[in-house]
Amino acid sequence: MKKLTAILLVCLLLIAPLSGCEKKEDTITLRWTIMMSEQKDLSMVLEKANEMLKDLLPGVKLNLECVDSLPDKWSMWMSSGEPIDLAWSGYSFDMASEIKKNSYIGLNELVEKYAPHIKQEIEDYDYAYNATTIDGELYAIPHIQYYVAETTYMTIPTELEQYMDSDALLNAAHGSPTTQEDFFIELDNYFQNIKQADAWDTDTVGRYINNLKNFMQFVLSRGFEYVGCGTNTAYICYEAFDPNAEIKCFLETEQFKMFMKYVRKWYEDGIISPDILTGGGGDASRQSIMGGHTVENWYNVDDERGIKRKGDLTYYLLEAKENKWQGVVDIVNEATCTVIPYTAKHPEEAIQLVDLLHSEEGKELLNLLCYGIEGVHYDKIGENRIQPYDYDTQGDANSAYGIPNWMLGNLNYVYEVPVVTEGQPEYVDNYNRVTRKEQHKSALYNFRVDNSNVTKEISQVTAVFAEYLNQLVFGVSADYEKIYNEMIKKAEKAGLRTIIEDFQKQADAYMESNK
């Protein structure tokens, strides 16, 4: 019996190496989904990328999946447990909600073990990583960009610059972090000068302005910071230079009330189309004034007062450098980043690939994935500059190949395309790593509000404002004050004061804890 037992034991020991554990895959394939239409040369580029990965990340292959309807499919995929190792996320998603639903895994441990370059980025670009960190846990890797929202701007056609008192306009803008009435006075003078000179309705300038919602969002509300409403528009905010950080609704500020007064005047003066609410606002490309997007900076100005001229437009930079500030953090502040879904089969290899694309070592691979193959999709026109064959800014569905570089990694390691000004990436990188740290810190710097107690109220108030706002923003109603009061009264019934009180309580507690 002892002899038989010994024989069986020897047999088991011999068999164990063969059957005692599952054989590990020699090569794993990472599935990475991004929000992009698939282009015809994607498979060609991926074939070359996977050849490079044999040396850069042995045992790993990449399947980059371009899905133009990514947000529409995301909920279904997460509900069904669809295996995805990496995914683009950002402005098209309610990222805070996705984190609460555990769609993304926490990344602290993975970064600590496998991502030394990202660890360094967290120190260098804390403003970006703070926005993707909740309760100390990192949930998304932001894509460091060479575009920066250093200042809001306003544009006018350059041919109309003679009718603008540029000194007075910029003095009014730069004299205060927020928009004051002297700014509106200069705009009104500009419109009256154009009207008197009969400079409307030329080949390049239309008669009407119609982009007043953009103007309100980017120009009128400068110096205020919205908090806690995500993609909803309940307009809850505070003034960045207010030491008490009083929480308020922007639509109740003096700035918005001034705006209503002046847009009504401009409507009566014929500067706003009488049928703007029914689509008769005029050609958006021929506006005599446009409220600008926030992605502009003070680098390479044509006029030190704060003027840039691009094509047939004159840009007025409206925020003086001394009036720039840093404030709250919110997951929606990060417009573009990479996440690892909870359904990832290979999270360790996924974070290693992302870390590679945020490093000098992975620069060649990152440029391949962004721009394709030299001589096939672009030519190099400088040491770090390229000319793509079928676009100047970024690829689209009609390009043979070209993924927007802000979807994939750290733009410090990508080639510059023609739209990027020489020296701009270096200026922006210094701004992000150095200048941001020197700017004014608001009383709610690094504060993150929790809106979970008032989500119903936020939705209700948002619906009220959406019902009334067009009438007020476009100046179409002579009795706008009556309509405005009706809107505020209805918003209060929908929970406006409840939201403000809840956020103020949190803000006060935060400021007290940081004394």
DSSP for 304-343 reads TTTEEEETTEEEEE-S-GGG-EE----GGG--EEEE-BTT
- 308 and 398, same domain (yes or no): no
From 435, 457, 476, the end of a domain falls on 435
From 435, 457, 482, the end of a domain falls on 435
- What is the Cα–Cα distance from 175 to 156, expressed in whole angstroms? 21
- 174 and 303, same domain (yes or no): yes
- 51 and 129, same domain (yes or no): yes
Domain assignment of residue 384, yes or no: yes
Q: What is the pTM of this model?
A: 0.82
> In the chain, how many domains are there?
2
From 387, 402, 435, the end of a domain falls on 435
Domain assignment of residue 11, yes or no: no
Location of structure tokens 């926030």: 294
- 415 and 474, same domain (yes or no): no
- What is the Cα–Cα distance from 103 to 225, expressed in whole angstroms? 28
- 430 and 480, same domain (yes or no): no
- 198 and 304, same domain (yes or no): yes
- 178 and 273, same domain (yes or no): yes
- 493 and 448, same domain (yes or no): yes
* Helix 254-268 with 480-494: angle, nearest 10 deg: 140
Tell which residue, 175, 97, 180, has the closest CA to residue 139. Answer: 97
C-beta neighbour count of 423 within 10 angstroms: 11
Location of structure tokens 């705006």: 259
Contact 365, 52 (CB under 8 A): yes
- 177 and 317, same domain (yes or no): yes
- 339 and 314, same domain (yes or no): no
pLDDT tens, per residue, the chain with 515 residues: 445 444 444 444 444 444 444 444 589 999 999 999 999 999 999 999 999 999 999 999 999 999 989 999 999 999 999 999 999 999 888 888 899 899 999 999 999 999 999 999 999 998 889 889 988 999 999 998 888 888 999 988 898 999 999 999 999 999 999 999 999 999 999 999 998 998 887 777 877 787 788 888 888 999 999 998 765 689 999 999 999 999 999 999 999 999 999 999 999 998 888 888 877 666 666 667 665 666 789 999 999 999 999 888 899 999 999 999 999 987 655 689 999 999 999 999 999 999 999 999 999 999 999 999 999 999 999 989 999 999 988 999 899 999 999 999 999 999 999 988 889 899 999 999 999 999 999 999 999 898 889 999 999 999 999 999 999 999 999 999 999 999 999 999 999 999 999 999 999 999 999 88
Provide the CATH number for the domain around residue 475.
3.40.190
Question: Count of residues for the chain?
Answer: 515
Residue range of the domain that includes 217: 151-323+443-515
Provide the CATH number for the domain around residue 337.
3.40.190.10
Location of structure tokens 């529409």: 72
CA end-to-end distance (rounded Å), the chain: 79
Q: Is 43 exposed, middle or buried (0-12, 13-18, 19+ CB in 10 A)?
A: exposed
- 393 and 260, same domain (yes or no): no
**Beta 60-66 vs 86-90: how paired, if at all?**
unpaired
Domain assignment of residue 4, yes or no: no
